[in-house]
Every structure is written in structure tokens, then in C-alpha cells.
Structure 1
Amino acid sequence: MFLNANFTPPIPSLTRGGDRGVIAESGTFVTVSTSTGTSKRAREIERRFSTSGGAICENMEGAAVAHVCTMYGIPMLEIRGISNIVEDRDKSKWDIKKAAENCQKIMLALVKEGRI
């Protein structure tokens, strides 16, 4: 299970090999206007953004918040629990509960370490 968040520096206890069962990665999100529901579309987006450094996940909801925060110089952190990889839509493979639990682990670690 991956949890993607834009934060630097990484939290050692939550990165690869951490002791909480969460793999946290930091990176760019691709903003899309609709969720990707096919492997073909996922490959198209991956090719399109690979020349600009790539992205670690797609996102619809956070772009407006990030834009306004950037306009006003307000720090912004978006944490996303990833419940499924982009492929042909198969909701039986989604793990929304685990994704939410991973978000909670990240938030608790950030608070405990005094980062937020």
C-alpha cells in the first residue's frame, strides 16, 4: 500500500522500510479533470508527463487548493492515501479502508514530529 504526500524532508519512519507498514513517497501529482478508469488512459498520461519528471499519482481535488495557496504564499500539504492503481476499473481491488488508515498514520507522524 502506498501513501503519496508532498512533503520534504521525508519522514524516516514512514519511508521504504519504515516500521509502520506504510510506504510514503513525495512527488508531483498529475491534475486530471476526471478519474482515469483504463490502463490505456493511464499509459497515455504516464507518457505525457514522463518528460517533465513524471508524477506519482493523479489528483482532481487538490489542484484548486494548491493554486490558491501558491497565489497567496500559503504553505500547502496534500496527503493522499492510494486505494488502487490506475488500471481497467475493478473496484474489488480497491482498499479504501487501508488508504484512509495510511493517511491517519502520516498525519499522526507529522504531528508527533512537530511538522504540522
Structure 2
Amino acid sequence: ADIAQLVAAFRQLTAQTRSQPVVSIRPLPAYTPTPLLSPRQAFFAPAQTVSAAAAIGQISAELICPYPPGIPLVFPGEVIEPAAIAYLQAILKEGGVVTGCADLSLQTLKVVKA
């Protein structure tokens, strides 16, 4: 009975995912992030929400993880680079998702207050 339920669940999952578009996996951008604070310091520091464009060059107060590939790209305490924003926006445009940040649409990002 348990096996039959498991098989039925897998069949249902397969049917659901076939209707979803396949997102290509892009190679990660070639840049070396610059950590200015520890993740803990950045997480607990006073933060503000700014537009994605205004976040470039500022210190991230949140983790940003695109899927695919499911590897965090920006960590709290790192300087937000233009290449990272471009990569994340391309992932979203192609149907991927971003997790870890407050605004999953990436219109805004949380940065450490200057």
C-alpha cells in the first residue's frame, strides 16, 4: 500500500512538471565577491531596502540563491556586483527562481545601511 502511494505520487509529480518549462542552467558569472563584513555582522546590522540597481556596490544584508543551479550567489556581508545582478535577473527572465531574499522578484534588495 505504501509503495503504491509512492508510485502514484511520483506519477503525479511527473505529470505536473512536464507542463513546466525547462530552465537552462547558466554558468555562474566569473567574478570574485568582496566580503567586507562577516555574514553574522551583515545579518544583524541595520539594513535598508533599495532597488536592485541602487544595491550595486553596496553590502548585501541577505543571502541570494538562484535556482537553477541552487548555489548561493550573494552572501550577507559581500559587495553586490553588477555581474551578480545581471545573472540573477537573467535566471528570473528564463523562468528560474531566486530564494533567500525578502523580494523574490529582485525588484529590491536589502543592504547594510551606510
Per the normalisation by structure 2, the TM-score is 0.20
**Which of the two has greater helix per residue?**
1
Return the index of the structure with the highest Cα Rg: 2
